[in-house]
């Protein structure tokens, strides 16, 4: 097995990396343990390179064919002007419960999100006019003796 196991099987590890990358795309920064960050950051860097080269099918497959996150990710990647080193890890204080080393993973460059494009696609206008009437069937009941 190449990389870190993180006490998970292959499928769970792949789902963890997809979830962490999705959270990084949506919020721009995430807080996680240092071990998880060191395991998933190279995968996220590889995805950014794939997106810069125009391989959207592999990106879509990585995110479970989720069109919205794939679209957001490709729009985010277009803003990068560098060839590599897209993320940074900032050390944080250790976690209180188990004293695990924590880090914040964030994009190196400032990302500008365009909310106007997504808001048009996701919102539906309510139909104007009279509300539709719903027909109710009346059922006959038999009395049982």
**Segments making up each domain of the chain, as ranges:** 11-109
Distance, CA of 24 to CA of 45 (rounded, Å) = 12
- Tens of pLDDT, residue by residue over 60-73, are 999 999 999 999 99
- Tens of pLDDT, residue by residue over 22-72, are 999 999 999 999 999 999 999 999 999 999 998 889 999 999 999 999 999
pLDDT at 142 > cutoff 80? no
Distance, CA of 48 to CA of 77 (rounded, Å) = 6
pTM of the model as a whole: 0.73
pLDDT band, very low/low/confident/very high, at 18 (cuts 50, 70, 90): very high
pLDDT in the model for residue 3:
75
**Is the domain defined by 11-109 classed in CATH 3.90.226.10?**
no
């Amino acid at each position: 097995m190449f990389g870190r196991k993180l006490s998970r099987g292959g499928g769970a590890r792949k789902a963890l990396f997809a979830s962490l990358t999705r959270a990084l795309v949506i919020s721009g920064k995430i807080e996680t343990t240092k071990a998880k960050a060191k395991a998933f950051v190279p995968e996220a860097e590889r995805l950014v390179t794939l997106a810069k080269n125009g391989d959207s099918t592999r990106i879509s497959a990585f995110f479970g064919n989720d069109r919205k996150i794939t679209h957001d990710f490709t729009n985010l990647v277009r803003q990068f002007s560098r060839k590599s080193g897209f993320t940074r890890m900032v050390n944080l204080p250790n976690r209180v419960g188990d004293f695990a080393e924590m880090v914040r993973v964030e994009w190196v460059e400032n990302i500008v999100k365009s909310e106007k494009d997504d808001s048009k696609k996701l919102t539906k206008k309510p139909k104007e006019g009279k509300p539709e009437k719903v027909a109710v069937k009346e059922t006959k009941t038999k009395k049982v003796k």
